[in-house]
């Protein structure tokens, strides 16, 4: 009898073979099931409550998957792919997850029948390459030198994205705002130069776009009310210095034997503070912003000299102001000159809802924009912010890559037909796999219909007929429960979003199919006791 050899540590959990691949596929389908109903203009929202009781209402695929905290190792792949789609192109996260789930579901029967995963993976990669090639072929380039036409195109792309979001009713209003914000930026379109600020209260229509930097008025001391609230072409000093009396004696021990000595120390502190303030005043600075606190003495001093100050400004706001207005964030007030001071055309402080906001407009150095969002509940404004993030990303992509395809399931049906036709030209196992891959694309129009409460089978039959007659832009018409030419209906998406989605979904499916064993290694006794000791010492 052969002796049994134990290689793995005792308690190691190992599962392998066909059952492991099937179990991974089931886990991924469960994740896809979680976001299935959020797809499209009639998609439902999910309310997710975390362990601290914080509620989030969202229909953004990436947000939902992040909050669900998926623990299954294979299913986590789907979460990562949704995140990568969100980071790369900003939208289409739900579509990617659904597509991956459907590809795996359609490949399941082949695994059941004993086909080797490598054969399936090879065919899937081939099919994905054909699909991407087809998207590039049929995508319509809409590059125009006419700024008006270019604007209209970008607004259509933004409106298509927003039609599946919470703010679909206000999509005209917000798509204009998003396009304005992106067009304000310079050629590199840096995302961090668009700030989004949320102010509770008011209606959505009161949201506004500021062509410059805006941030909430920070904590302020007495004397603030007497400072002027607007300037034309002010000089701006951005500091990383505390303008308060207590700063000099922190972490110091002083031993004195008479009152005069103490008086000298107090006087020295006042002298140091006043010399800092005087240098700012003499340099002609009108607006002083600091990352650290600005005390009441300094606030009063600035008010007497018609200067404005704000302390405890958030770091990202200060950096955006610096990029937009020029100058530098300085740690000393010595040698103040034009090169370290910023400037803008107009500075003003205004009341928005219950908060006061500082506005810097007409910034010379960098082009920047700030969206100020209004709305009722906090969760609602948070979801508006997520929706606008997707729209901004799509408009940025459309500016850089100017080819678009029709949305609403049209491009998916076109790809499905192309791949089905291709599968008939080849023999063997590949034919079956590519046909199954082709069928997977139909999940998008089918789910759009199901979420809207339509008869999905009926509409898909109509779509197949139209695409067989070469109506490549025919997709689901949500408003009339029918099919329509979505290119003419201006339901547009940048082609790069679809290419990214197909590539990501296919790669994720291949990755999950290629895993045939999961090994969970238990913590050794020594490691566990060490961790316990460290926790004990830490406590």
Q: Are residues 338 and 487 in the same domain?
A: no
Instruction: Annotate 176-230 with DSSP letters as a single string.
Output: HHHHHHHHHS-TT--GGGEEEEEEEBS-GGG-EEESEEEEE-----TTGGGS-SE
Q: 101-135: buried (b, 16+ CB within 10 Å) or exposed (e) per residue?
A: bbbbbbbbebbeeebebeebbebbebbbebbbebb
Is residue 381 situated within a structural domain?
Answer: no
Are 24 and 108 part of one and the same domain? yes
In a domain, 501, yes or no: yes
Count Cβ atoms below 10 Å from residue 43 Cβ, excluding itself: 21
Q: Based on the domain organization, do 319 and 448 belong to the same domain? A: no
Confirm if 347 and 302 have CB atoms less than 8 A apart: no
pTM value is 0.77
Catalytic residue positions, numbered:
60, 93-94, 390
In a domain, 189, yes or no: no
Look up residue 85 and give its two tokens: 């789609």
Provide the residue range defining the domain that includes 31. 13-141+405-520
DSSP 80-106: HHHHHHHHHTSS-HHHHHHHHHHHHHH
**Domain total in the chain:** 2
For residues 117 and 254, membership in a common domain is answered with: no
pLDDT tens over the chain, length 539 residues: 555 555 655 555 556 678 888 888 999 999 999 899 998 888 888 999 988 888 888 888 888 888 888 888 888 888 888 888 888 877 888 899 999 999 999 999 999 888 899 999 999 999 999 999 999 999 888 776 777 888 888 888 888 888 888 888 888 889 999 998 888 887 787 888 888 888 888 888 888 888 888 888 877 777 777 888 888 888 899 988 888 876 445 566 777 788 888 888 888 888 888 888 898 888 889 999 998 888 888 888 888 888 898 888 888 888 888 888 888 888 888 888 888 888 888 898 888 888 888 888 888 777 888 899 988 888 888 888 888 888 888 888 888 877 888 888 999 999 999 999 999 999 888 999 999 999 999 999 999 999 999 999 999 999 999 999 988 899 999 888 889 998 888 888 888 889 999 999 999 999 999 888 777 777 655 555 555 555 554 44
**What CATH number is associated with residue 23?**
1.10.560.10
Which CATH number characterizes residue 354's domain? 3.50.7.10
Same domain, residue pair 416 and 481: yes
Whether residue 182 lies inside any domain: the answer is no
Query: Same structural domain for residues 365 and 218?
Result: yes
Residue 328 lies in a domain: yes
Please check whether residue 404 is in contact with residue 140, taking contact to mean a CB–CB distance below 8 angstroms. Answer: yes
Please report whether residue 389 resides in a domain.
no
In a domain, 198, yes or no: no
Same domain, 505 and 434: yes
340 & 427 share domain: no
Residue 286 belongs to a domain: yes
């Amino acid at each position: 009898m052969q002796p049994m050899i134990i290689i793995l540590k005792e308690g190691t959990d190992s599962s392998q073979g066909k059952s492991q691949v099937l179990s991974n596929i089931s886990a991924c389908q469960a994740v896809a099931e979680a976001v299935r109903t959020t797809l499209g203009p009639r998609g439902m929202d999910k309310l997710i409550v975390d362990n601290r009781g914080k509620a989030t209402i969202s229909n953004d695929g990436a947000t939902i998957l992040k909050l669900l905290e998926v623990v299954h190792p294979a299913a986590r792949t789907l979460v990562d792919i949704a995140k990568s789609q969100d980071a790369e192109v900003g939208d289409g996260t739900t579509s990617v997850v659904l597509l991956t789930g459907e590809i795996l579901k359609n490949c399941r029967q082949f695994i059941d029948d004993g086909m080797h995963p490598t054969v399936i993976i090879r065919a899937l990669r081939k099919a994905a390459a054909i699909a991407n090639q087809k998207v590039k072929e049929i995508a319509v380039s809409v590059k125009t030198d006419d700024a008006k036409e270019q604007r209209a195109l970008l607004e259509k792309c933004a409106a298509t994205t927003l039609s599946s979001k919470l703010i679909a009713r206000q999509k005209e209003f917000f798509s204009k705002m998003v396009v304005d914000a992106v067009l304000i930026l310079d050629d590199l379109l840096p995302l961090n130069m668009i700030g989004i600020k949320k102010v509770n209260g008011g209606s959505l229509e009161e949201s506004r776009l500021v062509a410059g930097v805006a941030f909430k008025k920070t904590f302020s001391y007495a004397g603030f009310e007497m400072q002027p609230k607007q300037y034309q072409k002010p000089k701006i000093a951005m500091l990383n210095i505390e303008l308060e009396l207590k700063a000099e004696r922190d972490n110091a021990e002083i031993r004195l034997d008479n009152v005069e000595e103490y008086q000298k120390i107090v006087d020295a502190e006042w002298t140091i503070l006043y010399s800092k303030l005087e240098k700012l005043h003499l340099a002609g600075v009108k607006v002083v912003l600091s990352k650290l606190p600005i005390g009441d003495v300094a606030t009063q001093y600035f008010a007497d000299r018609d200067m404005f100050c704000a302390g405890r400004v958030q770091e990202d706001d200060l950096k955006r102001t610096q990029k937009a207005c020029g100058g530098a964030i300085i740690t000393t007030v010595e040698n103040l000159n034009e090169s370290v001071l910023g400037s803008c055309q107009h500075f003003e402080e205004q009341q928005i809802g219950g908060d006061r906001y500082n506005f810097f407009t007409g910034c010379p150095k960098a082009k920047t924009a700030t969206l100020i969002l209004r709305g009722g509940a906090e969760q609602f404004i948070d979801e508006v912010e997520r929706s606008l993030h997707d729209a901004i990303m799509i408009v940025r992509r459309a500016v850089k890559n100017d080819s678009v395809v029709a949305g609403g399931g049209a491009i998916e049906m076109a790809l499905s037909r192309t791949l089905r036709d291709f599968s008939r030209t080849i023999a063997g196992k590949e034919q079956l796999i590519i046909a199954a891959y082709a069928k997977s694309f139909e999940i998008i129009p089918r789910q759009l219909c199901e979420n809207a409460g339509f008869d999905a089978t009926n509409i898909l039959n109509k779509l197949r007929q139209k695409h067989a007659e070469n109506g490549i832009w025919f997709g689901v018409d949500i408003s009339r429960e029918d099919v329509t030419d979505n290119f003419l209906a201006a339901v547009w998406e940048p082609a790069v979003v679809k290419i990214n989605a197909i590539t990501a979904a296919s790669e994720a499916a291949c990755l999950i199919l290629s895993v045939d064993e999961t090994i969970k290694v238990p913590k050794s006794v020594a490691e566990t006791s060490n961790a316990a000791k460290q926790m004990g010492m830490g406590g």
